[in-house]
A = this chain, B = another copy of it.
Amino acid sequence: MINKKVANAEQAIEDVMDGDTLLLGGFGLCGIPENCIAALVKKGVTNLTCVSNNAGVDDFGIGLMLHQKQVKKMISSYVGENAEFERQLLSGELDVELIPQGTLAFRCMAAGYGMPAIYTPAGIGTEVAIGKEVRNFKGKDYLLEEAFDAKFAMVKAWKGDTAGNLIFKATSRNFNTVMAMAGKITIAEVEELVEPGELDPNQIHVPGIYVHRIFQGDHYEKRIEKKTISV
């Protein structure tokens, strides 16, 4: 098997440059690449375009990069709950492109499947459609949306092997699979890194061919945004 293992997050992200575009997995704070984000903050790389469903919170997730003003542009579907984000956006320091959540997922999937663009009904008749091609198929209108073209994808999986195969847990799968498939260079951090042969080939969510670097992360905080309990 082809060995994708690198030592740690620092090594995995060492060639990220100012101005690069990154796909960052996760939904809210669930399944975010915590170690990669910490390493990006430490490296201090700037002018990044970050594609991520959300933008973290003030003191966790992508919020940590926003706090350091490393992000030039966010492409997200929902960016609430982040005061520093709001400040930078209103002051014009930060550019934000809001796109429907399905469109975000499909533009990643398209990249991972070698499709140049896909048609989606989401956004028809709204400001999202402005400047985009609308096409009717069998009586229904669709927007043409292009595949993402991102240099890096950073995803967080539950288990992985050194061949790059990934398995996700519960709803932390979210955008991580399609982003892993979409990156030109895909970096995966996993809670548990095992040898080839230890994962059931039938249960793999992302085949290793899509993953270029993999490492076992540490100190996962897995912060919960809205802990809600039944009484």
Contacts and interface: CB of A to CB of B under 8 A. Distances in A.
Interface of A: 106, 113-121, 137-138, 140, 142, 146, 167-170, 201-203
Contact of A121 (B114, B121, B137, B142): B114
A125 B142 CA distance: 27
A121 B116 CA distance: 10
A138 B120 contact: no
Contact of A116 (B116, B119, B201): B119
A183 to B, nearest CB: 18
A140 B115 CA distance: 11
Nearest to A135: B116
A170 B116 contact: no
Interface of A is mostly: mixed
A116 B169 CA distance: 31
A170 B203 CA distance: 10
Given A169-B202, A170-B202, A140 B119 contact: no
B116 A117 contact: no
A167 B113 CA distance: 22
A203 B165 CA distance: 14
Contacts of A118: 115, 118
Contacts of A169: 202
A168 B138 CA distance: 33
A78 to B, nearest CB: 21
Nearest to A169: B202
Nearest to A158: B202
| A118, A121, A146, A169 — most chain B CB neighbours (10 Å) | A118
Contact of A137 (B106, B116, B138): B116
Contacts of A114: 121
A167 B114 CA distance: 26
Contacts of A113: 106
Nearest to A137: B116
B115 A117 contact: no
Contacts of A202: 167-170, 203
A169 B203 CA distance: 10
